[in-house]
Structure 1
């Protein structure tokens, strides 16, 4: 075994082993290359650090079609401390958002849990709907800003509908505040002005067909969780 004190090499390639991988100087960059110098190879270390402000993915992109680079950069100004972001341990649930606990730990959570962000849920109502129509779960501490029923096709017969929760069927809209027999395009809108509840609520529409053989509507509930 020999240890050599090398200052450098005149070649742009430095091979590790007779048929091993190589380090290459090209285009002002150092690349880890395969033995044939035909492709880049993985470079592994216990901690990969960058002295610059950005990391670039897909560095050799063709910059056409769907083949482009992606750069992750720190902010140009405003930082007052070192920051560490820890990624979630799973893929999360479809439709969830990436949120932080304020200490750099990231996780996936329902966007409905965000504060000061108004959301609207839509439930279809048909003339042949069952008596209790499940809508959605209103998050804890949410305030219902508006309930609207849009008539898409006038109902016949003597139908009625209310919006609320089990045990309080008209909490958010009473049956006397909407006429399902109104012309298509008519909207009935109510601000229920109810206080927020500290636990999630399963909203339901209570529907009576009243002999209806036609008709379709949409129930829209807009809500927000105040900060």
Structure 2
């Protein structure tokens, strides 16, 4: 075994082992290359650090079609401390958003839990729906701003509908506030003015077909969690 004090090499390639990987100087960059110098090779280290302000993915992109680079950059102004973001431990749930605890720990959370952001849930109602139709879970501290019933196909018979929670079936919409036999395209809007609850609520629609053999509607509930 010999240790050599080398200043450099006249070649633009430096091979590690007889048939091993290579380090290559090309285009002002140092690249890790495979033994045949026809593809990049993986580069591994305990910490990968960049002195520049950006990291570029798909660096050798063609720049056409669907083959483009993706660059992640730090802000050029406004930073007042070093930042360390820790990613969540799983993929999360579809529709959830990436949130922070204010200390760099990221996690998945329902976007419905955001304050001062109005959200609208839609539940379909058909003439042959069951008596109790599960809608959605209203988050804790949420205020229902609007309940809208949109008639897509007029019902026949004498159907009735109310929206609320178990034990208070008309909390958000009473049966006298909507006529399901109205013409298609009719919308009934109600501001329930109900106080927010400190716990989450499972909203339900209570429906009576009244002999209906046709009809379809959408039940829209818009709510917000005030800050």
Q: TM-score, normalised by structure 2?
A: 0.98
Cα-to-partner distance string for 1:23-67 (whole Å, 9 max, x where unaligned): 100000000011111111011111100000000000001122221
Aligned 1:11-160 pairs, distance under 5 A: 11-160=11-160
Shift of 1:127: 1.0
What residue in structure 1 maps to residue 217 of structure 2? 217
Q: Which runs of 5+ in 1 are unaligned?
A: none
Aligned 1:187-226 pairs, distance under 5 A: 187-226=187-226
SS at match of 2:124: strand
Shift of 1:102: 1.0
Cα-to-partner distance string for 1:125-146 (whole Å, 9 max, x where unaligned): 1111111111011111111110
What residue in structure 1 maps to residue 167 of structure 2? 167
1:164 and 1:109 map into 2 onto residues whose CA distance is 25
Q: TM-score, normalised by structure 1?
A: 0.98
Q: Which runs of 5+ in 2 are unaligned?
A: none
Shift of 1:220: 0.2
Q: How many residues align?
A: 227
SS at match of 2:112: helix
Instruction: Supply the RMSD in Å over aligned alpha carbons.
Output: 0.8
What residue in structure 1 maps to residue 10 of structure 2? 10
